[in-house]
Amino acid sequence: MPASAIDSTIFRAMFATEPMRRVFSDGNRIQKYLDFEAALARAEARLGIIPRDAADEIGRHCDLGQFDMAALVAETVAIGVPVQPVVNQLVRLCRDGLGEWCHFGATTQDVMDTATILQIREALALIEADMAGIADGLARLARAHRDTVMAGRSYLQQAIPTTFGHKVAGLLAAFIRHRQRLAEIKPRLLVGQFGGAVGTLASLGDRGLAVQSALMQELALGVPDMSWHSARDRIAEIGAFLGLLTATCAKLALDVKLLMQTEVEEVSEPSVPGRGTSSTMPQKRNPVISALIGAAAPLVRQHAGALLEAMVEDHERASGAWQIEWVAVPEIFCLSAGVLAHTRLLAQGLSVDPERMRANLDLTRGLVTAEAVTMALAGEIGRHHAHHLVADISRQVAATGRPLADLLAENDEVARCLDRPAIARLTDPANYIGAAGDMIDRVLALYEAGT
């Protein structure tokens, strides 16, 4: 019976995705081991190291469907790693002793590390598709709401006006950077492993590097400059990337939860019948998508930390730290896939209420524009004095409930500097959004250019 949320019959669709589970399934993992063995045999036959008919025979049996998984599980528990049981069955499947050429010059970690990289390559295709979908949703929101004025908030309080387009363009800019990061990481990451017992390829004499190069060519992976059995920065780096990526998703989810509060109600999650209903309160519509993102993203960051721990390995082949990756890599990718799938749904289906945003701006009776007034007065009476003057008037607004514009107009010192039309312009939130529109345009141009 499944025990973790990732594989749970009940929770699996909430915390992971089916395509990502398939990538890190036992079946795909073992098939990747077999892909390695078949590619190694082909490479060594091409170089004349093993017989061609041996490579052909090995390749014919590198098919998961020919393997006894129950026997493989039992032998793996006894040995502690799954590669030798796979190789043992492969040898037995081959005719006329040709299987004896299987795994020639390789070690267990060569197979497992390269298989992990092959799985990660498949996983990143899924990750990139979701990243593109999220960015597309954010771009459409930024474009549609370029000039939708709302309260910018600092310390959870209204600060000065901004636009909803500016808010989501900030997230889009982060996704553009994530796309750049991943493009930079992939050449470092998508590198195979083939070093033999302690990374020196001694068992192949002077042919080791030639086999290594031919093997990576077969697998369409980069050739390592050094064996990396105990240098795990590649795996830790992609874990850190997933931590960054999903933290950006969680920032969006947090803002959505806050903006969905009854007292705010400026946005709402995509409407799906039955989603977010309460078992006791019929009026409730809970932000369940955002809540799931907020629950899973911290777990991704915890796994990223675990992968950093796995970097601290002893000598040439580790005695325990490597095994951390066996747990953390599948889970970090599955959890990330769940976060990204939910974020994609959120970005592409978010409902925005511009009228409510405007109504919330008016809650403070103009105080959201106090900085605008201060800056206009600063040129006449000095910024420091203007700040204190407007602060005093703002306290009167809070005490009396009267609009800021009226109290400004009644103040003799302000009236000497600003007439009523000027005060009206300054206390209109739409007139104090600065370069927000230009920044949005700049980010959208970068997005459309594919930068």
Q: What is the DSSP string of 320-356?
A: SHHHHHHHHHHHHHHHHHHHHHHHHHHHHH-EE-HHH
The answer to whether 315 touches 225, Cβ cutoff 8 Å, is no
Residues in CB range of 251: below 8 A, 6 or more apart? 171
Together in a domain, 336 and 259: yes
The pLDDT value given to residue 355: 97
3-state secondary structure 252-301: HHHHHHHHCCCCCCCEECCCCCCCCCCCCCCCCCCCHHHHHHHHHHHHHH
The pLDDT score that the predictor gives to residue 227 is 96
- The owner of tokens 């908030």 is 153
Residues 179 and 210 placed together within one structural domain of the fold: no
Residue 1: pLDDT band (50, 70, 90) is: confident
C-alpha torsion sign, points 431, 435, 440, 441: positive
Could you tell me if 292 and 188 lie in one domain? yes
Q: Quick check: is 86 in a domain?
A: yes
The pLDDT of residue 212 is 98
Residue 296's nearest CA partner among 257, 362, 347, 341 is: 341
Q: At 262, phi and psi to the nearest 5?
A: -55, -40
Residue 7: predicted pLDDT: 86
What is the mean predicted confidence (pLDDT) over 79-101? 95
Among the listed residues 278, 319, 351, 395, the single catalytic one is: 278
Q: Which two tokens stand for residue 140?
A: 């459409």
Asked whether residue 260 is domain-assigned, the answer is yes
3-state secondary structure of 157: strand
Residue 318, in any domain of the structure: yes
**153, 177, 317, 358: the active-site residue:** 317
CATH number at residue 407: 1.10.40.30
Structure-block tokens of residue 304: 């990223």
pLDDT digits (tens, 9 = 90+) for 335-373: 999 999 999 999 999 999 999 999 999 999 999 999 999
What's the pLDDT band for 282 if we cut at 50, 70, 90? low
Confidence band of 280 (pLDDT split at 50, 70, 90): low
Confidence of residue 285 (pLDDT cuts 50, 70, 90): confident
**Kind plus residue range of the DSSP H or E element containing 41:** helix 26-46
Same domain, 344 and 309: yes
CATH code, domain with 298: 1.20.200.10
Give residue 275's pLDDT band: very low, low, confident or very high (50, 70, 90).
low
Give residue 416's pLDDT: 92
Tokens representing 231? 């240098």
Position 283 scores a pLDDT of 59
Assign 286 a pLDDT band (cuts: 50, 70, 90): confident
Q: Residue 178: its pLDDT value, please?
A: 98
pLDDT of amino acid 447: 96
Going by C-alpha positions, the residue among 354, 362, 353 that lies closest to residue 427 is 362
Q: Is residue 3 part of a domain?
A: no
Domain annotation covers residue 198: no
Is 351 a catalytic site residue? no
| 317 among known catalytic residues | yes
451 or 239: whose pLDDT is higher?
Answer: 239
Q: Both 275 and 393 in a single domain?
A: no
Does 168 lie in the same domain as 208? no
What phi, psi does 319 have (nearest 5°)?
-115, 40
Q: What's the pLDDT score for residue 407?
A: 95
Q: Has residue 451 got a pLDDT over 80? A: no
Q: Whole domain around residue 244: which residue ranges?
A: 109-193+228-360+437-451
Provide the CB-side half-sphere exposure for 414 (13 A, CA).
27
Within this chain, do residues 303 and 389 fall inside the same structural domain, yes or no? no
User: In whole angstroms, what is the distance from residue 451 CA to residue 443 CA?
Assistant: 10
Mean pLDDT score across all residues of the chain: 94
User: Is residue 277 over pLDDT 60?
Assistant: no
Question: For the segment 199-248, what is each residue's pLDDT rounded down to a tens digit?
Answer: 999 999 999 999 999 999 999 999 999 999 999 999 999 999 999 999 99
pLDDT band for 151, please (50, 70, 90 cuts).
very high
Number of folded domains in the chain? 3
Report, as an integer, the average pLDDT of 286-308.
96
Give the model's pLDDT for residue 221.
Answer: 98
Predicted local distance difference test score (pLDDT) of residue 326: 94
Q: How many helices, marked H, and strands, marked E, lie in the chain?
A: 19, 4
Residue 170 included in any domain? yes
